[in-house]
């Protein structure tokens, strides 16, 4: 059990490096507690939006919170790091395209290089970016090379001049502000003192329990959470394809199987997307390619589901009877404006390429995709009412709540891998 009595000076200023889906809500939440918070991002658009009192992403009451915090002078944004007492790094960690989809930690390294000149004794650095095991230690070593005048915890432990911890985010789009406050946090310190200082910072607003551990354990916890979900989704997706080949209703199979007291099968879909579940398992595969066999296979199954949906569409289009195809929902999950790693977006773009002039799309969050990106992908958007009336084939890819007002149209060919109109 770690001692939670923190002897270091209190944190009076904080920099959040990266103002994306995680960084901006986190920065606003800390500012709302009265902590002087500076958001740092390489995007001029994001910085200008925040300094104008606006959130550049769609997320519940985030716009209102940003406006309030900026108005009070507690939240500002800049494109270059400044000296503060603490730093939270919340930058992307994408995967590559090699066999094991090796993680790209260059953004974390770039963030470390950017803050290195501003560090001083007593600073606290927290990495929140989802990262392969060992990334926090790598960051500590990188900073030690850049600042040989300071002691870092990979060598000096509790005697380090700068404390470093890994504290993964555990929030979901659409509920970010609520879950930032209510969810438990895993506090992975590179030493007990590092963990204590990080925990003290999060307790400014976290009502959930702060669980203390090491940085490497915390890194693995985050990857494990999303890999667990990916494996279970893969079971549901594979089951849906098996049932289709056997001419069995997968939704009835799942409904009845889940009446067993120890069975809880998830719903299948058109694939797996987003910045977490579709990416994080590859970090484990890359670190342990010989032993992460089930995790790799789950990724393979889920990555193959969009191609299965495309094959279904192709079979129905073989005779040329389909004149217009409507794709309903393109974000990576229902009721969010996030298109990252979206299998639905990939399916719609592929169909637009295969059947030029025959594909129309509908998504209540189309504006977040942007006209330029839509044009690049060859996507044409129309209203839900319009596409349901004019299309011969309806492909339901994301079950947005906005679609619930529309019953399944009669006389249409409907492909519904998400079970929206089941």
Task: State both tokens at 70.
Answer: 């900026």
- Sign for the CA dihedral angle at 167, 172, 173, 176 comes to negative
Our answer to whether residue 276 is catalytic in this structure is yes
Catalytic residue among 222, 305, 333, 358: 222
Question: In terms of DSSP bridges, do strands 75-78 and 36-40 run parallel, antiparallel, or are they unpaired?
Answer: parallel
Catalytic residue among 69, 276, 327, 362: 276
Q: Which residues are catalytic?
A: 222, 276
């Amino acid at each position: 059990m770690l001692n939670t009595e923190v002897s270091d000076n209190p944190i009076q200023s904080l920099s959040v490096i990266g103002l994306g889906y995680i960084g901006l809500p986190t920065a606003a939440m800390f500012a709302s507690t009265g902590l002087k918070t500076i958001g740092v991002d390489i995007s001029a658009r994001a910085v200008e939006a925040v300094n104008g009192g606006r959130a550049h992403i769609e997320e519940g009451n985030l716009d209102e919170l940003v406006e309030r915090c900026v108005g009070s002078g507690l939240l500002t944004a800049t494109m270059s790091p400044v000296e503060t007492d603490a730093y939270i790094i919340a930058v992307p960690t994408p995967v590559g395209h090699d066999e094991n989809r090796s993680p790209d930690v260059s953004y974390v390294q770039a963030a470390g290089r950017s803050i290195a000149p501003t560090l001083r004794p007593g600073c606290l650095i927290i990495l929140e970016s989802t990262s392969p095991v060992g990334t926090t230690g790598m960051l500590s070593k990188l900073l030690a090379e850049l600042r040989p005048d300071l002691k870092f915890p990979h060598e000096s432990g509790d005697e380090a001049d700068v404390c470093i911890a890994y504290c993964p985010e555990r929030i979901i789009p659409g509920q970010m502000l609520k879950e930032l406050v209510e969810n438990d946090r895993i506090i992975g310190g590179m030493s007990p003192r590092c963990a204590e200082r990080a925990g003290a910072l999060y307790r400014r607003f976290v009502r959930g329990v702060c669980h203390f551990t090491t940085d490497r354990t915390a890194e693995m916890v985050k990857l494990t959470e999303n890999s667990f979900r990916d494996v279970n989704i893969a079971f549901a997706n594979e089951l849906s394809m098996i049932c289709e080949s056997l001419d069995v209703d997968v939704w009835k199979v799942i409904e009845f199987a889940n009446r067993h007291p120890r069975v809880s099968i998830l719903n299948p879909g058109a694939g797996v997307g987003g910045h977490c579940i579709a990416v994080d398992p590859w970090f484990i595969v890359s670190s342990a390619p010989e032993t992460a066999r089930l995790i790799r296979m789950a990724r393979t199954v889920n990555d193959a589901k969009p191609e299965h949906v495309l094959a279904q569409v192709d079979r129905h289009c073989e005779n040329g009877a389909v004149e217009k195809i409507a794709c309903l929902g393109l974000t990576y999950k229902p009721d969010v404006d996030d298109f990252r790693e979206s299998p639905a977006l990939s399916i719609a773009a592929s169909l637009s390429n295969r059947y030029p002039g025959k594909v129309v799309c509908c998504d209540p969050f189309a504006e977040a995709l942007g006209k330029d990106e839509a044009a690049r992908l060859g996507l044409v958007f129309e209203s839900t009412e319009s596409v349901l009336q004019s299309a011969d084939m309806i492909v339901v890819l994301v079950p947005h709540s906005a679609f619930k007002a529309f019953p399944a149209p009669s006389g249409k060919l409907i492909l519904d891998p998400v079970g929206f109109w089941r």
